Amino acid sequence: MAKKISGKGRPSGEPSTATERKIRILLELVRNKFIRLERMCEEYGTSERTVLRDLQELRKIGERAGFRIAEKSEHDRVRLLDFDQRPTGIDKSSRALQTLIRDAGRALGAPVEAQLQSIQADEPREERRFLHFLQPALREGTHVAEAFDELQAAWANNARVTFRYSGKERRVEPGCAVMRSGRYYLLARDAGGTRDWKYYALDAIQGAIKRAGSFSPQPIPQKYLNDDVLGFIQGKSEQRVSVWLSPAIAPSATSREWQRAQETQLHDDGSATMTFTVSDVGEVVRWAFGFGADAKVCAPPQAVEHARAIAEKICAEYR
């Protein structure tokens, strides 16, 4: 008999939202000497109380790592009071944390590694650790890495940019960069007639990225800031897509949280069926194909047909 469970785990190597938020807060403090509470709350869709709790945890780390954060906010700002560029009182737990941050940066690739290095004064001494990160990393000097640097610089200066994408000239207002399964995307607001928010894969940007005037940043709609691996492409309608997983792959696939809305049914023979709610059926089809013959799109009929058409095209390439 099948039973329904909710997946709680994250994909291997994927940092939690809370961890990412704390690292971002510390980066902002080191870079700008202060953070704005309202901005942090808006960017992460969380309460001021949560951000204040993050700051309190960072204050505790600062006691050992050589920095001090103001206890009180002033006009929505919390300031970095002191930062020792070469902290000497780092204990074993802090060294382990630095090692973890370094390895996470290397696993995520050049852009993230460069930003995380700014909070580490010295190369951390190698610590014995249980967790390692293994995934394709973005190489420095590549087309995507250079596009990332150009877009980040434009974003920092509130500059619109133009580039060619899918054969068309685009003029957009950069909002943020998103990394999904090792691929980088720009989330930007159309500066033309629609003013819609859209994703642009950095590897698909054609030609040079040029600046085209300035803009006043607008808050990113919360639906675009979700941290789901599946279903992050937003559309006007949603549909549920189910995938059958063989007994060989079911324990691995069902142990991870690919999407908060995912539903899982475990079957007596060890197989499982996972159901996702998405705007783009192709996201689920591509995910299922990653498991080869151990996964099969099984509902609804239009998703099955979409998967079949792609499978037939793949087979034709091998004839």
Spell 88-126 as b/e; 16+ CB within 10 A means b: eebeeebbbbbbbbbbbbebbbbbbbebbeebebeebee
Does the pLDDT at position 4 exceed 70? no
Return the half-sphere exposure (C-beta side, CA atoms, 13 A cut-off) of residue 238.
11
pLDDT at 64: 81
pLDDT at 107: 65
Does the pLDDT at position 21 exceed 70? yes
Q: How confident is the model at residue 265 (pLDDT cuts 50, 70, 90)?
A: very high
pLDDT digits (tens, 9 = 90+) for 304-315: 999 999 999 999
Task: Please tell me the pTM assigned to this model.
Answer: 0.56
Q: What percent of the chain has pLDDT over 70?
A: 82
The least confident of 12-16, 36-40, 255-259 is 12-16
Go through the chain and tell me how many residues it has.
Answer: 319
Q: How confident is the model at residue 12 (pLDDT cuts 50, 70, 90)?
A: low
Residue 201, Cβ neighbours under 10 Å: how many? 15
pLDDT digits (tens, 9 = 90+) for 284-309: 999 999 999 999 999 999 999 999 99
The sheet with strand 197-201 has its strands ordered as 197-201, 183-190, 168-180, 159-165, 205-214
Average pLDDT, the chain: 84
Q: How confident is the model at residue 276 (pLDDT cuts 50, 70, 90)?
A: very high
**Stronger pLDDT, 277 or 139, i.e. the higher one:** 277
Q: Are strands 272-278 and 295-299 parallel, antiparallel or unpaired?
A: unpaired
- Give the mean pLDDT of 236-254: 93
Contacts of 132 (CB under 8 A, 6+ apart): 103
Q: Exposed (0-12), middle (13-18) or buried (19+): which is 62, by Cβ within 10 Å? A: buried
Rounded Cα gap, residues 224 and 233, in angstroms: 8
| 3-class DSSP assignment, residue 35 | strand
Contacts of 193 (CB under 8 A, 6+ apart): none
Rounded Cα gap, residues 120 and 23, in angstroms: 12
- Does residue 195 come out as left (phi exceeding 0), alpha (psi in the -120 to 50 range) or beta? left
Does the pLDDT at position 10 exceed 60? no
Q: Are strands 263-266 and 205-214 parallel, antiparallel or unpaired?
A: unpaired
How many helices, marked H, and strands, marked E, lie in the chain? 9, 13
Residue 136, Cβ neighbours under 10 Å: how many? 10
Does the pLDDT at position 7 exceed 60? no
pLDDT at 302: 95
Angle (CA) 111-128-10 rounded to 5° is: 55
Rounded Cα gap, residues 194 and 186, in angstroms: 17
pLDDT digits (tens, 9 = 90+) for 132-185: 766 777 777 888 989 999 999 999 999 999 999 999 999 999 999 988 777 889
pLDDT digits (tens, 9 = 90+) for 204-228: 999 999 999 999 998 998 878 777 7
Q: How confident is the model at residue 233 (pLDDT cuts 50, 70, 90)?
A: confident
Q: Exposed (0-12), middle (13-18) or buried (19+): which is 314, by Cβ within 10 Å? A: exposed
pLDDT at 126: 60
pLDDT digits (tens, 9 = 90+) for 83-129: 766 544 445 556 667 777 777 777 666 666 766 666 555 555 566 66
